[in-house]
Amino acid sequence: MELEGEILPKAYEPGKIERKWYNFWLRQGYFTPQIDWDRKPFVIIMPPPNVTGELHVGHALTMTVEDVLIRWHRMLGEPTLWVPGTDHSGIAVQVLVEKDLANQGLTREQVGREDFLRRAWERAIQSRETINQQQHLIGASCDWTRDTFTLDDGPSRAVRTAFVRLFRKGLVYRGERMVNWCPRCQTALSDLEVEHREIAGYLYYFRYPLAEGDGHVTIATTRPETCYGDTAVAVNPSDQRFQALIGRKVVLPVSGRTIPLISDDAVDPEFGTGALKITPCHDPTDLEIAERHQLPHIDVFTDDGRMNSHAGSCEGLGRDECRERVVHEFERQGLLVRTEPYMHMIGHCARCGTATEPRISTQWFVQTKPLADEAIRVVRNGEIRIIPEHFTKVYFSWMESIKDWCISRQLWWGHRIPVWYCNDCDALTVSVEPPTSCEQCGGSRLTQDPDVLDTWFSSALWTHSTLGWPDDTEDMRYFYPTSVMQTGYDILFFWVARMIMMGIEDTGRIPFHTVLLNGLIRDEQGQKMSKMRGNVIRPDDAIAQYGIDALRFALTTGNSPGNDLTLGAAKLEAARNFVNKLWNATRFVVLSAEEWRRSFDPGSTLLPLHLEDRWIVSRINRLVESVHELMTEHQIGEVARQVHDFVWTEACDWYIEMAKLRLRPRTQNTDSQTVDTESPALFLTSVLEKSLLLLHPFMPFVTEELWQHLQPAAFPEEPSRSIMVSALPLPEEDLFDPEAERAMTAVIEIVRALRNIRAERKTDVTSWLEAQLYTGTLLDEFQDMLPAIESLSRTRILSLEHSSSRPEASPGQVALILTDAEVLVAASSAEEGRRLQEQLLKEAAATRARLEPIERRLDDPSFLSKAPTIVVDRQRKLAQSLRNKLDRLTAELTDVG
């Protein structure tokens, strides 16, 4: 896209260039890689956002980090693939559709499965469109020709294939196990789909009378409603309090049933009374005890969480209402001993928030230990690296204690389980494609399992199902295994571990070689962002206010792998200010293009001669070297910081300001010595070019716009269609110049020290300081830099001599002892002293004028008694602050006097 002849606007206005450049990149096909068997590709498969609405700022973080990596490797010349996609998010979407139906007074059963799925698809398609638009907006340079949805035909066939393969190997089975049950969604949940919250409840102490003779056993429970499912009372065999009772029977007061009193090592003698009621169907520990003692199982709940027929008169009641009834019944019978407040952890459905119920249910499971063993091996031997490394221990801990994975869900939205039941012989037929007959008897009357697979089952195949597996596609052969899986540390086991297990199981190879984990986004006070706290930052709002590049830069600066990231208005404003700084610097370079073109011969050797040129060339090369090293280690937050600091401080605040002195016509420089007017253009443009290239992965839109203006102005003989397909700069070690860096560091220290003196003295901007400069080894360098030192510090250097000849400071002089220099600053003149005294007196008067009414208010008993405490405290703090300021001003006036 040619921009030659267009003038770079004076101010950067975000929102005016982004769509133009994104569409340009799309038209050019830059996001779609060409397969080159001679080169190793760099591949990221995007973690698929859920089709439940729009992207949040956490998604923006993931998109930005991955896009930085993708753009970087693309600019390294590697075939680079970033596959976009979205997840059908089974439970979450099902809950949303059911809420839509409820608003219309309908249930899913009333509309039927077919119509329900139609509504779910409509919602998913609408959400996908919104998500894709937001990904375009954020600048995601992914290959949209490979955009994938987990319910697309390809991934769906991959899911069925994986299930059938596991079933054939005996790694998928159907069995009765205890699961987490959500009464609201009426489906089983995996442990990872349950959020545990600390809830304030009660510990109830009940007496269970002995079945024969007098006496009783007192138990403690947090769940009286499950008493109907008790099949024993258990004590620890070493607990001497119950030795005489072991083997006897007690009566369950709410039903009249007799149950045995048994002993088991799993019972904690310190909990409650030491006697534990055993409810096998509704507690995993109780189930283990029941299986060891061959106790019966009694499920007291319906699918929707109400009490069933085993609860007698409480049948049909909800859990909380039944609890009240049971407590009342024990109290009526005189068997309620006491009730104590008790904090305990309760599982809740991660999608709908309903308290889950441990419940025995017939479900489909994956036998995970054989898969986990391989997944542990590849991380332990270094085939897969987890960043940060300390999460490797967490990974091993989870994987070594892994349980079988419940993969069936009692939902309608999702991948239907590829199992058919024969209505004639009850045999199972497990098939990738719908069968026409029973594998066992050949009958044609088949019914498919109504359940769907856990969403995480299809997500576990994401790295290879998106590339065409189970087919032997060119994409699978070239792009698999992928390179980096970047995601949040909170789903390391949820998703990453399962991808490793299933990737190895399905393909025989690891799915990626690096796992890069990011943390959560918190507000400026360190609080986790949530709608309840009102501190959520919507990406669209941040983009509208600060611009896309500012949001991206704010999300990457200070972002280190595995650590939480703070984000707020201050950080976004700082990022926007940096974009403006970059814009203004480029505008300065571009607007002087004609003079720069005249100043160099394209065929000449571009070696820096001036000290500041040698310095900036050395510094940009050191930055390039550091950035390459950091990007290899995926330290993109540190890269952003280093490039920011270089551009803002070294390039703009120092080098450009020094370059202006040499570009300024001699006739304009009347305040100082005559300056060398040899143009620094080559190095200005070269440094800016390299800076834009390094920044492009982080700030793609503004760097493309500036690049397109810089190229025809500074490098007309080197046309490039786009910065995003230009080569990254490489460090040139022969241009490292430690001597120049040392000398320029000293020059900058001198200027800063003199500026501080001006600030302390409140020297008028039109006035000049006078000083003598001394150094031991940098006489020649300082001599060359005197015009810059004088101009940038507004100081006339009266003499430059060797440190050995420095006299003692005379009265009124200020001696500055610096690293490689010493400076004697002349005393303030009488006129300067008078002006400073006037300023200080004026400031002191204004401070007293602010302080006096506050002190009168604080002396007023009526104000002190009526004003809120917070207001009074604020006034006292302000008064003290003003008194401290007056003290400082008085001290300064004394010094001036």
Percent residues over pLDDT 90 in the chain: 69
Pairing of strands 172-182, 148-149: unpaired
The mean-pLDDT minimum among 444-453, 512-521, 550-559, 678-687 falls in 678-687
pLDDT of residue 717: 62
Mean pLDDT for all residues in the chain: 90
Question: What is the distance between the alpha carbons of residues 369 and 451, in angstroms, rounded to a whole number?
Answer: 24
Q: Tens digits of per-residue pLDDT, 663-716? A: 765 434 444 444 344 678 888 988 999 999 999 999 999 999 999 998 876 666
Q: Which two tokens stand for residue 846?
A: 């204004």
Residue 131 phi/psi, 5-degree rounding, is -65, -45
pLDDT of residue 152: 97
Question: What is the distance between the alpha carbons of residues 709 and 505, in angstroms, rounded to a whole number?
Answer: 52
pLDDT of residue 869: 81
Query: Which amino acid appears at position 50 of this protein?
Result: N
Q: Which helix (H) or strand (E) holds 692?
A: helix 681-695
No. of helices (H) and no. of strands (E), the chain:
27, 29
- Helix, strand, coil shares, percent, the chain, to 5: 50, 20, 35
Q: Among 426, 422, 449, 450, which Cα is nearest to 436's?
A: 422
Pairing of strands 512-518, 482-488: parallel
Q: Among 579, 615, 547, 490, which Cα is nearest to 192's?
A: 490
Tell me what the mean pLDDT of segment 44-66 comes to.
Answer: 93
Instruction: List, in order, residues 6 or more apart from 45 with CB less than 8 Å away.
Output: 83, 85, 462, 463, 466, 482, 485
Q: Tens digits of per-residue pLDDT, 814-866? A: 888 888 898 998 887 655 666 666 767 887 888 888 888 888 888 988 888 87
The mean-pLDDT minimum among 135-139, 697-701, 877-881 falls in 877-881
Contact 506, 375 (CB under 8 A): no
Residue 16 or residue 470, greater confidence: 470
pLDDT of residue 22: 96
Q: Which two tokens stand for residue 503?
A: 């990737």
pLDDT of residue 763: 85
Residue 237 or residue 531, greater confidence: 237
**How much is the pTM?**
0.85
User: Cα 348–352–354 angle (5° rounding)?
Assistant: 40
pLDDT of residue 672: 42
Pairing of strands 419-422, 446-448: antiparallel
**CB count, 10 Å around CB of 673?**
11
Q: Among 618, 683, 619, which Cα is nearest to 649's?
A: 619
Q: Which two tokens stand for residue 871?
A: 């207001």
Residue 895 or residue 310, greater confidence: 310
pLDDT of residue 300: 94
Q: Among 370, 380, 428, which Cα is nearest to 404's?
A: 370
Strand ranges (DSSP E) for 210-255?
Answer: 216-221, 232-235, 249-251
* pLDDT of 602 higher than 70: no
pLDDT of residue 670: 40
Residue 192 pLDDT grade (very low, low, confident, very high; cuts 50, 70, 90): confident
Burial of residue 168 (number of CB atoms within 10 Å: 0-12, 13-18, 19+): exposed
pLDDT of residue 406: 93
pLDDT of residue 606: 61
Q: Tens digits of per-residue pLDDT, 365-392? A: 999 999 999 999 999 999 999 999 999 9
Q: Which helix (H) or strand (E) holds 541?
A: helix 539-546
Q: Tens digits of per-residue pLDDT, 704-729? A: 999 999 887 666 666 668 999 999 99
pLDDT of residue 677: 44
Q: Which two tokens stand for residue 265?
A: 């090592």
pLDDT of residue 676: 43
**CB count, 10 Å around CB of 642?**
17
Residue 252 pLDDT grade (very low, low, confident, very high; cuts 50, 70, 90): very high
Strand order in the sheet with 194-209: 216-221, 194-209, 336-349
pLDDT of residue 537: 86
pLDDT of residue 666: 40
